[in-house]
Amino acid sequence: MNMKGRKVAVVGMGGVFPDCKDLLDFEQKLFSNQSLIRSWDKPLSYGKQVRSSVAGYITEAEVNLEPVTSSLVEGYPESYIDLLNRIPDRNLATADIGSIWAMLSSIDAIKMAGWNNSEVESEQTGVVVGSGSCGNEIQRIAWHNFFELGKKTRTVGAHTVDRGMVYREAANVSCLIKNRGVCEAMGSACATGLGNIGYAYRLISFGLQDRIVAGGSEGTALETFLGFDGMQVLSRGFEPHQSSRPFDKDRNGFVCSFGTGIVCLEAYDIAKARGANILGVIDSYFNNSDGDGDMFAPSFSGQKRLWKGLLNDTSLRTDVVKVHGTSTPTGDAVELLSVVDTLGDKGFQIAAPKSQFGHMLGAAGAVEFITAILMLKRQEVLPCLNSDNLNPELETFQTVDSWSGPKEPLLYYRDLLKQEVFSKEINSVACLNYGFGGTNSAMLVSKDN
């Protein structure tokens, strides 16, 4: 059930993105139809042990960080040096790479929001930031040295726990900015980023906080990449820039990527009163579970219920649907059909940001929410790159007697899926993200009118 509460504004944003210097560089590359996906030397070095070799990865050097490697444990980054002096050393010591990205992104988002120190450090300011993993790179090296090499626990230092806990991004951001409100991390697989923003929205809407730093982060980790490669769900066989191809007939998996997206949310009346630059207004948020007991398969009925909850039997409409669009064989088809089953096949467009930068896992929903804000700002729709050929035949699941959805093949909806950026009047964008375990999240964000 949706409850009407306070209006919530988006007043700041920041992030760390593959092959980009900053948010402005990210914006310019996306809206010039570029791909941020590259060949990755780390999986390539393992030869035929690994099937896929493309990713939206980010190196330490690209974020102006330098690892301080342990003299006792080979390859273990005891801490990092911030070459631009943005983060104090004491905060760097407790953080893995994804947590550092979250702190850097929070600094940028707060600066854009225009919050002063008393506002940031208030009991009415919260932090809600999560990720989809658990400090894989830090923990792998630490425990390999204990279990396999027989070294003492103290050789990996005192920060393996805090750099690997599931709450690490939120904790590090909170300790950096010294807020006195809530500090939480929501984890919901690939719906994590949007889920954290949605939870933050509810806290403000229900009057429990006035402002929140929210989002998701997924630090570069070969371990994460290898796990998905082992599931045989990663794209392969294409050039890097062609590898992420949502809805295309020849799609064969997603591109594993990494990054961070952080936004600053604030009660609308407070933001308006202080003259804030309001980037967007959150109109609705809804999340649910498929309820079919399947850990991995998408659910048409679950996604239909998600739409019903998001729109809540109101007249709310959307000009653009920012889809999850992972480039997986079944997931894309089910998602597109659930969208058109709800909205019809005219009057809106579909944007698929993963076609440009891959799937950022726990950060995906937050980074893609930022792309929605950018579309509102620019009045341009992001493309679905590489959707060259849509299936002219019905999907197998559309041919069974129990199928209750649209009876047209994906090719029928070609006009909804443009392959280049184009201008359009955009007043609202719907954001969709799904995750393992049948978790679904949806948010509607609009211009401030």
- Give tens-digit pLDDT for 16-42: 999 999 999 999 999 999 999 999 999
For residues 125-149, average pLDDT: 90
CA–CA gap between residue 420 and residue 31 (Å, rounded): 9
Q: What burial letters (b/e) apply to 144-175, b meaning 16+ CB within 10 Å?
A: bbeeeeeeeeeebbebbebbbbbbbbbbbbbb
Please tell me the predicted confidence (pLDDT) of residue 314.
Answer: 81
Tokens of 359: 């799937």
Q: What is the mean pLDDT of the chain?
A: 96
245-256, pLDDT tens digit by residue? Answer: 999 999 999 999
Please tell me the predicted confidence (pLDDT) of residue 430.
Answer: 98
For residues 158-182, average pLDDT: 95
The terminus-to-terminus CA distance of the chain in angstroms comes to 26
337-364, pLDDT tens digit by residue? Answer: 999 999 999 999 999 999 999 999 999 9
For residues 225-243, average pLDDT: 97
| Helical (H) or strand (E) element with 435 | strand 428-435
Measured at the alpha carbon of residue 14, what is the angle toward residues 12 and 17, in degrees to the nearest 5? 155
Nearest to 99 by CA among 127, 131, 59, 142: 131
CATH topology for 8-402+409-446 is Peroxisomal Thiolase; Chain A, domain 1 (3.40.47)
Please tell me the predicted confidence (pLDDT) of residue 140.
Answer: 87
Using pLDDT thresholds of 50, 70 and 90, give the confidence band for residue 135.
Answer: confident
For residues 49-77, average pLDDT: 95
- For the cut 80, the answer to whether the pLDDT of residue 241 exceeds it is yes
405-447, pLDDT tens digit by residue? Answer: 999 999 999 999 999 999 999 999 999 999 999 999 999 999 9
The total of other beta-carbon atoms located within 10 Å of residue 350's CB is: 27
- For the cut 60, the answer to whether the pLDDT of residue 2 exceeds it is no
CA–CA gap between residue 163 and residue 105 (Å, rounded): 18
- For the cut 80, the answer to whether the pLDDT of residue 313 exceeds it is no
Instruction: Give helix 136-147 / helix 222-230 axis angle, nearest 10°.
Output: 90
For residues 78-104, average pLDDT: 96
Using pLDDT thresholds of 50, 70 and 90, give the confidence band for residue 100.
Answer: very high
Please tell me the predicted confidence (pLDDT) of residue 1.
Answer: 46
Using pLDDT thresholds of 50, 70 and 90, give the confidence band for residue 3.
Answer: low
Burial of 179 (0-12, 13-18, 19+ CB in 10 A): buried
**175-189, 220-234, 305-319, 364-378 — which is least confidently predicted?**
305-319
The ranges assigned to domains in the chain are 8-402+409-446
For the whole prediction, is pTM greater than 0.85? yes
Phi-psi region at 416: left, alpha or beta (left = phi > 0; alpha = psi -120 to 50)? alpha
CA distances, 439 to each of 191, 238, 297, 302, 412 (Å): 7, 30, 11, 9, 28
The total of other beta-carbon atoms located within 10 Å of residue 398's CB is: 18
- For the cut 70, the answer to whether the pLDDT of residue 395 exceeds it is yes
